[in-house]
Amino acid sequence: MSKILITGGTGFIGYHLAKRLVGQEHEVVLADNFFRSERDADLIALLEQPNIKLIEADLTDPALWDALGTGYDYVYHLVGINGTKLFYEIPHEVLRIGVTTTLNALDWFRTKNNQPNAKILYTSSNEAYAGALDAFGKLLIPTPENVPLVIADPYNPRWSYAGQKLIGELLFIHYAKAYGFRMSIVRPHNFYGPREGYLHVIPEIIERIHEQPDPFPIFGADTTRSFCYIDDAVEAIQTVMESDKTDNGTYHIGTHEETLIKNLIENLFTLMNWHPKELDIQNSPEGSVKRRLADVSKIKADIGWEAKIGLEEGLRKTIEWYTAHPHKK
């Protein structure tokens, strides 16, 4: 079994990844400061397992990395402030936390971890290239990994998240080249599922349907996304990490299905057995990306992974969790 560190490990992806790895009997350490996540019942239950522990630390402080110990076979670097609302509200913190924790992770990994053949993985984002569509009006759809990374407007706080992810990719690529360690980069594409938080599109819509406003507001009805259920997503992340074939490579993780936001919401209406009499169609926030669809052929070709859980099945599981865990305002 492997010794594994997950930074940002109490968040959405980190929790589900940790749950998967703990179930495989790996030794798992989570590091987090609960900036976005909370010590809820799901996390408490996971931490009761004998092969996992939590270290509460602000990883923007390089001195605190020493508390994490050494000898990790795999390091999943997931730290980051996600949630579009926060990109607009605290872009300076999105940038500061993303860049400083990534620099600290790489310096600690190359100088302190002391584990032969260890590997570190960075979770980037489709935000890193999505600005090309806004800036130039064109982007290959489905989008391959080798498209230009573009910040459409540095004055728009919307792009703070994309900017720090772009910098993070550069740091991982060139640190690994300079110091000769193993790494991979993954770009998540609209992961969703239980315990995602309440500031993302699917949880927000589920909450709104429970409230039953009529007319029902829909923001950006004609925008598209490709939604990937979290169980598929963490399987892909682990597979990329553990394969030698993915060393020093970048991989999209997502599905090949492009879904209109209006159609997503219609599916949720049906699954939750409620339909409004009228829709209130509104524009997306400024800077919102019109289309997103990953080209996921590279990950399938290199390591054989592809998503298995269909949108309807994933939405049913997500609705069930959020119905049992309503947002406490």
Evaluate whether 255 touches 229 at the Cβ level (below 8 Å): no
**Superfamily of domain 3-192+227-256+294-309 in the CATH hierarchy:** NAD(P)-binding Rossmann-like Domain (3.40.50.720)
pLDDT, residue 286, reads 65
Instruction: Please name which of 103, 291, 75, 87 lies closest in space to residue 199, comparing C-alpha atoms.
Output: 87
Q: Per-10-residue mean pLDDT for the chain, 329 residues long?
A: 97 98 98 91 98 97 96 98 90 98 98 96 93 76 92 92 97 98 97 94 96 96 95 98 98 97 98 97 79 94 98 98 91
Q: How far apart are CA 46 and CA 128, in angstroms?
A: 32
pLDDT, residue 99, reads 98
Instruction: Please name which of 307, 185, 236, 201 lies closest in space to residue 17, comparing C-alpha atoms.
Output: 236
pLDDT, residue 209, reads 98
Helix (H) or strand (E) holding 31: strand 27-32
Evaluate whether 169 touches 128 at the Cβ level (below 8 Å): yes
pLDDT, residue 75, reads 98
pLDDT, residue 84, reads 82
